[in-house]
Amino acid sequence: MLTDLEGQTERITYVNEENGFTIAKVKVKGRQDLVTVVGNMLPLTPGEIIKMTGEWDYHPKFGEQFKIAQYTIVIPATVDGIKKYLGSGLIRGIGSVMAGRIVEKFGQRTLEIIEKDFEKLAQVEGIGQKRMAMIARAWEEQKEIRDVMLFLQSHGVSASYAAKIFKQYGNQAVQLVRENPYRLASDIFGIGFVTADQIAEKMGFPKNSKLRAEAGVIYALNQLSDEGHVYYPYEALIQKCQEILNIDRKIILEAFAVASFREQIVIEELNRVEDYKEDNKAVYLKPFHVSETGVADSLKNLLTTPKSIRKIDANRAMEWVQRRLDIRLARGQIEAIKRAATDKVMVITGGPGTGKTTLINAVTKIFRRIGVSVMLAAPTGRAAKRMSEATGLEAKTIHRMLKFNVRKRGFQKNGREPLKCDLLIVDEASMIDVTLMHHLLKAVPPGATFILVGDVNQLPSVGAGNVLNDIIASKVVPVVRLKDIFRQAEQSSIIINAHKINQGRLPELRPLKKELSDFYFIEQEDPEEVLRIIIELTRDRIPKRFGFDSVENIQVLTPMHRGIVGAGNLNLKLAEVLNPKEGGLRRGAKVFRVGDKVMQIRNDYEKDVFNGDIGRIARIDQELQEVIISFDDRKVAYGYTDLDQVVLAYAISIHKSQGSEYPAVVIPLLFQHYLLLQRNLIYTAVTRGRKLVVLVGSRKALATAIRNNRTQRRFTYLTKRLK
């Protein structure tokens, strides 16, 4: 039976930001204990009065609850309620202490003062002009956002997305979403086509609407680019779109035509006279077509432009650098130095222990000796740091070297304003996707020598393309393959086993109980037991035996995101034992605590942090609604609505680990990872460990992965463009 209930919200126990399901504690007049209320609601704020219609229920675990059917929220009128309301973090610039001061000054008139006589806030200690401006802006925003949220939530949009939509569109949010809800998929990070499609359906858009078809085509291509494809075959894409959208081919072809006219996609005929095929067309998202053709044109231009570096005697240079560095170069390294002296563009590739880093150091020393301007870069901060440590020269990430201009939404270094160097060496080149390579090559001076260094046996880039492999396959650029393993590297079981894996052979599997080594295997088939062992290894066994810090030095690398030993669950369990602090900031299903290890999962040029960067939470400021994250001694502020860019990073996917090295890595490997069990995945994971690698899981899964050298094909056309 439906009952009416009214009370003051005391605290929020749980919120699912996807659907708004909320569990809250409410103080009801005449009841001594707080009442637990549950239901799908707009974001509640402590202190608010909530008038509810619903029914009483008994939960076997949590006891008596009031299940809400309908509700209205009323701004609090009591001093206590107002204090809770203002101090809840609702208004940026007002924390619990400041809320107490304001309410002490103005009492029950507090909210009226903020609304109608705002300047009086200056009478409160600690509120200057800067804070007043912040509070004024936040107060107006929260009023407007409520209206937007009411509209959006009535159409199935969660509270967290409603806040982001308001941030993107402001007061126009309702109008713009009404006109075309599908724009949310491209404009709002985290809202994909599926969510936008659900919103559109609730708003009455038919399944065969042109807007839906056009958005669906772009969505399909974006999904395919996430799998690494630069383009997708025309007919295969039509089939994909039909599967996703369940609409007629005719409507999809019309959507192709509209998207092509708007220059969102490019449809290119791939036929050459010598190998004609029927319907041999490729469909590109426009930025990928620009990038792929741009990479081909830039490389051709580099290859045909004379070198700006004067000719050097390679033999004399090699004798000098060997004396200077007190080393003996291997055959492959000697060939690479000779090539660097004569060629404009070259690729150096080799596995661990083959001397790539030594070679980079030798080449930089030789060319700096003759006064050449040298620049060093890598895709990740950690890889750039390793280059700096090896050479004594500054190395930057590619993004920072190219200097992104936030206002102009583009890189400052480009064809009009190129980099100032005669030699550019880029390490970890297998990680570079087609878009980043396009921007990088645009900025390389035409006369400069360009050297790409990488390990082609690792996983390809996370982003679209297979650039390093495509350049090598084109045979238009000289390639030096380093094969000799240096004597000191031969003493490392990690390096020996990595080469065995790369050759399709099973590594030596040594249990952790035996004598000290740097490579171990713990056999266990049960996922729950694998999870328990990983927790034990990271928290106790590895720190005690090897002296590594559980958070700073040990990285868990997993093939999957989902499942018991997927990154999601591993992070929840590892955070509980490695950083067991009370409280924390809850954002949907995620909880962030001071000290947590976190990773950025998208490029944010404004913050100057990039996909894969790992940091630690230094501070959570409820008053300013900010989380301060420390990345290599650089502190970056995140507003609460920006936290969907960040995930816990005690465990990360093997893909995300590319370009990084860690003192110790722990790798779960089970048959539930079957679809991902590939040789280059295991090889990449093992080569991330500098001093210790521990595999935990199934011997059969490991053997299956090592045997499987069939990598998923990525549709790219760069090799043929270069030819």
Q: Give the model's pLDDT for residue 91.
A: 72
Of the candidates 5, 7, 6, 15, which has an alpha carbon nearest to the alpha carbon of residue 585? 15
pLDDT, averaged across the chain: 86
Q: Are 721 and 293 in contact (CB under 8 A)?
A: yes
pLDDT band at 175 (very low <50, low <70, confident <90, very high): confident
Q: Give the model's pLDDT for residue 475.
A: 94
Q: Give the model's pLDDT for residue 130.
A: 80
Q: Tokens for 688?
A: 């991330």
How far apart, in whole angstroms, are the C-alpha atoms of residue 429 and residue 437? 9
- Give pLDDT tens digits for 597-611: 999 988 888 888 888
pTM of the model: 0.79
List CB contacts of 599: < 8 A, sequence separation 6 or more: 612, 613, 614, 615, 646, 647, 648, 649, 652, 656
DSSP string, 78-122: SHHHHHHHIIIIISTT--HHHHHHHHHHHGGGHHHHHHH-GGGGG
| DSSP-derived 3-state class of residue 630 | strand
Q: Tokens for 445?
A: 């001076």
Q: Give the model's pLDDT for residue 190.
A: 72
Residue 538: pLDDT over 90: yes
Q: Are 443 and 411 in contact (CB under 8 A)?
A: yes
Residue 56: pLDDT over 50: yes
pLDDT band at 513 (very low <50, low <70, confident <90, very high): low
Q: Are 538 and 550 in contact (CB under 8 A)?
A: yes
How far apart, in whole angstroms, are the C-alpha atoms of residue 371 and residue 638? 43
How far apart, in whole angstroms, are the C-alpha atoms of residue 709 and residue 695? 20
How much is the average pLDDT of 102-113? 81
Give the 3-state secondary structure of 19-81. CCEEEEEEEECCCCCCEEEEEECCCCCCCCEEEEEEEEEEECCCEEEEEEEEEEEECCCCHHH
Residue 405: beta bridge partners?
410
| Higher-scoring residue by pLDDT: 86, 198 | 198
List CB contacts of 263: < 8 A, sequence separation 6 or more: 286
Residue 585: pLDDT over 90: no
Of the candidates 361, 410, 370, 365, which has an alpha carbon nearest to the alpha carbon of residue 389? 361
Residue 454: pLDDT over 60: yes
Residue 628: pLDDT over 70: yes
Residue 579: pLDDT over 50: yes
Residue 164: pLDDT over 50: yes
Residue 147: pLDDT over 70: no
Q: Give the model's pLDDT for residue 119.
A: 82
Q: Give the model's pLDDT for residue 273.
A: 47
How far apart, in whole angstroms, are the C-alpha atoms of residue 500 and residue 502? 5
- Give pLDDT tens digits for 382-392: 888 889 999 99
Query: Residue type at 531?
Result: L
How much is the average pLDDT of 613-641? 86
pLDDT band at 149 (very low <50, low <70, confident <90, very high): low
Q: Are 510 and 521 in contact (CB under 8 A)?
A: yes
How far apart, in whole angstroms, are the C-alpha atoms of residue 200 and residue 314? 66
Q: Give the model's pLDDT for residue 625.
A: 77
Q: Which residue has the tokens 């050298």?
A: 709
Share of the chain above pLDDT 70, in %: 92
Q: CA of 409: how far to CAs of 13, 403, 404, 605, in Å? A: 40, 11, 7, 9
